[in-house]
Structure 1
């Protein structure tokens, strides 16, 4: 068992939102809307792996004490009332221990990190930028959506609580956490609802297995003893992705992992003398193989369209609504709680993926700006003139989109032409260029999801 108390917990599993070093936009730009896609907080592994000696990674994690006790609204014949409840995980013999987590469950560490993320959003968009209202009045101002899994729903609840704690909510305000039915879900590549996407993803996974399994063979001597003597393979038992899942989850919670899994160097693991540096690069090598297995399909236009096209189309539509309904659309921030596959999928689709597995609370953000050439901050006249001249000469849009990931501003390949970004700032794509590319990525879902020869 592992305790969630004391100094054992270390938060290396996520990258906190950096408010202090947030790059403020040029003075002629006014922030209009923010779209955030956030991976859930730290969780337990989705399966029990490496629990036997010599790995000894716990099979049961006592990291879910917070949130286990709560009051639930119940209905009875005389009206509604509250019921005090504590959820527990029962074993086959009927025993249980308070605070034990389910497999794949958001832990107390994950609850804290997602709450902190929400609090950082408050510090940034309310206190620093004065963009969002200090007190939220209506759900027309904010939009919260999650995939329909407990760990993402609970992560979003924690984020909302950090962004708008009860003292900063109007009396009549109720936070609406939106979820969708499986067939309508687009917050990840929904292969279950698209047969063609399922076929493609399987094909790329199989290709990665053929390409990478021989490369993983040298790891057997170092890792096999931790996985029941089995070889390390993408399709092994456990799968390489499963090993990576358990190791990353354990590391995020300060749980001891075998020394061979510590990534002590950031380097190319495919060096010719890999044996010389093997203890340092095992996890990096595994990660590269698993990333290839899961995300190599995003190098193709068809996978990009079927996996992320609908989500990007919805995002682009809401941005354009904000612009065309100027002054009549109060929606300023949209927060989506999702998964690592969605984060990597978005980055891959936009051709800015760094080939590293997304951390817990990793976030992709799209910020929508409108150019206000009538603003007159000190020293900005030349910049306003150049921006106005560029817009006139190239008939450039005066609405821009900036993409960010893990506190880094991204320069998107889709807007590298002069007319497609703000002069001197290639990171600010015109909304026109962004929307044009998204239109190319938008699938005819019902038609394109059909596998040829199948119905």
Structure 2
């Protein structure tokens, strides 16, 4: 069987693929199953109907700093310079009320931490702006010029932009849109509406503050996982190298150490020579912590943690697809979601394509909806520019029916979400959780860390 990917008005030249099996794009992908004979040469055309793009914000200033290590100089005049080719006015609308967006508690938290050089913690840098602008250029090539999914003129009836309620993701979305549609063009119709959810309703990252079960798991990972046999020997090495004890500093962990070092490396600041032999170990340990935070620490708890952390988001993805299937008037062709590394890890885990690597700045995951001449629909997931064979699917091109079946155990609506979140299910699954909490002193700082997704 030969598949040709077409668009509404042309050939998607970057994605034309003749392949045996139900595959698309990735004939050399080892995950692809060749289960259809090459002699079946009936040609079918696949038309791109919708794309949902989740991307991590661009490079940012550090959130955590390593005690006793001299801070890097984050010069605000250099690192927070606004790039003119990304600038246009935004109208930030509350998704639920339609009014102005609410204040961001996380931004207020970051504003309290001034870094050497004048920058605030966790802010998108000039480099991060350019990274997201470049992503926008790539999306323009794929979905405007090649796929012709949408017009090169921004049209809010076909494109939907949404960000988490944090300054760095809002700015990242602006830069991506500037890359796709051109800031000059967007200024002509500005302010451009983008949508932001109140924190209580947020699904674009694991909503720990609204879910006791997720908060418990995140707390366990941040404050106790480093004592476990898989982590402790490496923790002791780092404590010796940096001359600090993890337990003496709230938030100090493999994740926090990585955060400081990666921000230095990304922006061209020197990383101390004594750290370099431990770089790979820090990467591995921090990535494992992130996966444990948003996908569960043990096999038994993973279905529950993934359902709570990323199930609401995946439910939204499938709802958006259904709107397109039903030809609803407000169905969008392209969704742009500005998110975080925590979002990326959760999605990768849920799809069973986690590669044990921390998602880099401005990386994206795309859900593409295709339709053939018989009106049959298919899903393709792209990560780091490559089609992936996801959970429950036979190949990188997955029938929508098969994809829905694979995702069904993780789908969750608000009522069920709150019911599970307020239960003691995690304590039933993981007896260590309750033991860890005995005798703990829950300061305001500890509570704040516990309710904030690792990495944020």
Q: Same fold (TM over 0.5)?
A: yes
Instruction: Name segments (4+ residues, structure 1) moved above 6 Å.
Output: 68-73, 232-237
Q: In the alignment, does 2:204 pair up with 1:187?
A: yes
Gaps of 5+ in 2: 1-11, 18-23, 25-43, 91-110, 426-456
- How much has 1:131 moved relative to structure 2? 2.0
Gaps of 5+ in 1: 1-19, 74-90, 263-277, 374-396, 417-425
Name 1:8's counterpart in structure 2.
none
Query: Following superposition of structure 1 onto structure 2, how do residues 238-257 of structure 1 map, counting pairs within 5 Å?
Result: 238-257=252-271
Name 2:34's counterpart in structure 1.
none
SS of equivalent to 2:367: strand
SS of equivalent to 1:216: helix
- How much has 1:212 moved relative to structure 2? 3.2
Query: Following superposition of structure 1 onto structure 2, how do residues 377-416 of structure 1 map, counting pairs within 5 Å?
Result: 398-416=376-394
Q: In the alignment, does 2:449 pair up with 1:431?
A: no
1:45 is aligned, of 50, 54, 62, to 62
Contact 2:74 / 2:115 at 8 angstroms: preserved in 1? no
- How much has 1:121 moved relative to structure 2? 1.0
Q: Distance in 2 between matches of 1:372 and 1:71?
A: 40
Q: Distance in 2 between matches of 1:130 and 1:175?
A: 22
2:130 is aligned, of 94, 112, 121, to 112
Greater Cα offset, 330-339 or 60-69: 60-69
Q: Distance in 2 between matches of 1:246 and 1:308?
A: 26
Q: Distance in 2 between matches of 1:210 and 1:151?
A: 34
Q: In the alignment, does 2:213 pair up with 1:211?
A: no
Query: Following superposition of structure 1 onto structure 2, how do residues 53-452 of structure 1 map, counting pairs within 5 Å?
Result: 56-62=70-76, 63-67=78-82, 100-136=118-154, 138-169=155-186, 172=189, 174-204=191-221, 206-207=224-225, 209-217=227-235, 219-220=237-238, 224-225=240-241, 227=242, 229-231=243-245, 238-262=252-276, 278=277, 281-291=280-290, 293-297=292-296, 300-325=302-327, 331-372=332-373, 398-416=376-394, 426-443=395-412, 444-452=416-424
What CA deviation, in whole Å up to 9, does each residue of 1:243-266 have, x standing for no partner? 10011111111111023444xxxx
Contact 1:49 / 1:59 at 8 angstroms: preserved in 2? no
- Cα–Cα, structure 1 residues 209 and 164, in superposed 2: closer, same or farther, change >3 Å? farther
Q: Distance in 2 between matches of 1:28 and 1:61?
A: 53
- How much has 1:123 moved relative to structure 2? 1.8
Q: Distance in 2 between matches of 1:279 and 1:199?
A: 29
* Number of aligned positions between the proteins: 359
Q: Distance in 2 between matches of 1:127 and 1:303?
A: 40
Relative to the length of structure 2, the TM-score reads 0.70
SS of equivalent to 1:188: coil
- Cα–Cα, structure 1 residues 168 and 282, in superposed 2: closer, same or farther, change >3 Å? same
Greater Cα offset, 148-157 or 439-448: 439-448
Contact 2:89 / 2:190 at 8 angstroms: preserved in 1? no
- Cα–Cα, structure 1 residues 352 and 314, in superposed 2: closer, same or farther, change >3 Å? same
- How much has 1:126 moved relative to structure 2? 1.2
SS of equivalent to 2:404: helix
- How much has 1:202 moved relative to structure 2? 3.1
Contact 1:44 / 1:61 at 8 angstroms: preserved in 2? no
The structure with the largest alpha-carbon Rg is 1
SS of equivalent to 2:205: coil
Contact 1:212 / 1:234 at 8 angstroms: preserved in 2? no
Relative to the length of structure 1, the TM-score reads 0.70
Contact 1:188 / 1:342 at 8 angstroms: preserved in 2? yes
Contact 2:369 / 2:380 at 8 angstroms: preserved in 1? yes
Contact 1:368 / 1:400 at 8 angstroms: preserved in 2? yes
- Cα–Cα, structure 1 residues 282 and 439, in superposed 2: closer, same or farther, change >3 Å? closer
